[in-house]
């Protein structure tokens, strides 16, 4: 793709609102997200590019999520649709070399170094728009399209920044995206129901005799556990598909994606460990655990630790972390070896 040229930015009330509303959101949501820990050890240029792409994805997603958060202001699906259409126009202007919003101007710089098709950004908008148009999915085939648009597309954007050589890496990104979104759906059943969104396919609810009323009342019974096992097994299958098509030659540049996959796979395991009761248990990894997963993958990819040593860091992340104070202090039981890797990383690598 030809490098885009910069230009003078013109502001309208929408631009000003976009700038002020998204400034604190980008900072707080990025640091709190699982996404943040996956790109923590990327080289500076790639890390900043990923942050800018994530800011776009987050901003578009917020357009729909704001319907609940800003209901008191009179913000409705109509206003959300208008904003999504503005984002479509903004992407057209970006690829024509004339972005106007701050996020799009940052993407302009990203695209000069890491070209990617406009269709990726358009599909992300289409995916968020689906949340305005429907809140139920009859079949998994219908849900798959939603997952592809809001998650797999993000993966396809990211691998253009990570860089790759094998065409199979695109298959990896697509399958991993589906796996991550299915995990999100299972984790967030309660929150989504509060927004009158049910992402579990209706055909699956009928198959296992679990009604929406049961879901609304947070009923945990044998039918629910059978349903959740079925859904978890489906998510497992997509993690496996992603692993099966991960090209060995691209593994070193895909450390961030692999890290993301391992963080979300841990969440899926948590759901299973709580006997699928996502209503009464918080499904999350604490910040030190996410950091250690990222650290272990970075150590493996850079050859600073053998696979066995990297797995030991994963063990630190998975079994030795206290959850009393999330992110407030270093975990008491992190091994001396892990601290040594962290100390060496702290000296910097020029990235």
Per-residue pLDDT tens over the stretch 1-55: 333 333 333 334 444 344 334 433 444 444 456 667 777 788 999 999 999 999 9
- Tokens 């460990």 correspond to 273
**Mean pLDDT, to the nearest integer, of 273-298?**
92
Q: Where are the domains of the chain?
A: 10-116, 134-284, 287-342
Q: Is the pLDDT confidence value at 308 over 90?
A: no
Strands (E), the chain: none
Per-residue pLDDT tens over the stretch 221-274: 999 999 999 999 999 999 999 999 999 999 999 999 999 999 999 999 999 999
Residue whose C-alpha is closest to residue 265's, from 287, 286, 301, 238: 238
Is the Cα torsion angle 238, 240, 241, 242 positive or negative in sign? positive
Q: Is the pLDDT confidence value at 78 over 70?
A: yes
Q: Which pLDDT score is estimated for 302?
A: 78
> Percentage of the chain with pLDDT > 70?
76
Six token digits for residue 289: 């655990």
> What DSSP character marks residue 282?
-
pTM: 0.79
Q: Which pLDDT score is estimated for 22?
A: 44
Six token digits for residue 81: 């649709």
Q: Which pLDDT score is estimated for 35?
A: 67
Q: Residue 348 in 3-state DSSP? A: coil
Q: Is the pLDDT confidence value at 327 over 50?
A: no
pLDDT band at 294 (very low <50, low <70, confident <90, very high): confident
| Fold topology of 134-284 | Farnesyl Diphosphate Synthase (1.10.600)
Higher pLDDT: 52 or 326? It is: 52
Q: Which pLDDT score is estimated for 311?
A: 53
- Catalogue the long-range contacts made by 150-156 (C-beta closer than 8 Å, 24 or more residues apart): 150/61, 150/124, 150/181, 151/177, 151/178, 151/180, 151/181, 151/184, 152/176, 152/177, 152/178, 152/181, 153/120, 153/123, 153/124, 153/127, 153/177, 154/53, 154/57, 154/124, 155/257, 156/116, 156/120
Six token digits for residue 166: 């094998």
> What DSSP character marks residue 148?
I
- Tokens 């600073």 correspond to 304
Higher pLDDT: 222 or 304? It is: 222
List C-alpha distances in Å: 324 to 33, 266, 287, 339, 342. Answer: 19, 19, 12, 20, 22
Q: For residues 157 and 49, what is the distance between their CA atoms, to the nearest angstrom?
A: 10
Q: For residues 296 and 341, what is the distance between their CA atoms, to the nearest angstrom?
A: 9
Q: Is the pLDDT confidence value at 326 over 90?
A: no
- Tokens 């991550």 correspond to 180
Pick from 22-31, 75-84, 196-205: least confident:
22-31
Kindly give, in sequence order, each residue whose CB lies less than 8 Å from that of residue 217, ignoring residues fewer than 6 positions away.
none
Q: Which pLDDT score is estimated for 73?
A: 80
Torsion angle of the four alpha carbons 218, 219, 225, 228, in this order, in degrees rounded to the nearest 10? -30
pLDDT band at 335 (very low <50, low <70, confident <90, very high): very low
Q: For residues 170 and 285, what is the distance between their CA atoms, to the nearest angstrom?
A: 27
């Amino acid at each position: 793709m030809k490098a885009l040229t910069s230009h003078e930015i013109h502001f309208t009330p929408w631009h000003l609102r976009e700038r002020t509303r998204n400034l604190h959101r980008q900072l707080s949501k990025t640091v709190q997200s699982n996404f943040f820990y996956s790109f923590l050890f990327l080289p500076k240029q790639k890390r900043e590019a990923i942050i800018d792409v994530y800011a776009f994805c987050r901003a578009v997603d917020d357009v729909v999520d704001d319907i609940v958060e800003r209901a008191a202001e009179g913000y409705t699906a109509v206003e959300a649709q208008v904003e999504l259409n503005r984002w479509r126009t903004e992407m057209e202007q970006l690829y024509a070399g004339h972005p106007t919003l701050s996020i799009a101007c940052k993407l302009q710089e990203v695209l000069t170094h890491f070209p990617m098709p406009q269709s990726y950004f358009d599909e992300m908008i289409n995916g968020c728009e689906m949340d305005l148009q429907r809140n139920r999915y009859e079949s998994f085939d219908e849900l798959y399209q939603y997952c592809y648009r809001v998650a797999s597309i993000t993966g396809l954007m990211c691998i253009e920044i990570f860089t790759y050589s094998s065409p199979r890496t695109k298959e990896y990104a697509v399958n991993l995206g589906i796996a991550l979104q299915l995990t999100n759906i299972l984790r967030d059943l309660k929150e989504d129901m509060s927004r009158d969104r049910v992402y579990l396919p209706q055909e699956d609810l009928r198959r296992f005799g679990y009604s929406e009323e049961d879901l609304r009342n947070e009923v945990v019974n044998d039918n629910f556990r059978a349903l959740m096992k079925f859904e978890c097994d489906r998510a497992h299958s997509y993690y496996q598909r992603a692993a099966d098509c991960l090209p060995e030659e691209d593994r070193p540049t895909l450390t961030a994606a692999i890290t993301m996959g391992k963080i979300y796979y841990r969440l899926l395991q948590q759901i299973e460990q709580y006997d699928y009761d996502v209503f009464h248990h918080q499904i999350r990894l604490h910040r030190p655990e996410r950091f250690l997963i990222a650290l272990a993958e970075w150590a493996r990819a850079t050859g600073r630790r053998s696979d066995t040593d990297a797995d030991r860091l994963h063990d630190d992340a998975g079994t030795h972390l206290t959850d009393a104070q999330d992110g407030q202090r270093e975990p008491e039981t992190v091994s001396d070896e892990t601290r040594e890797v962290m100390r060496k990383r702290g000296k910097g690598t020029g990235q």
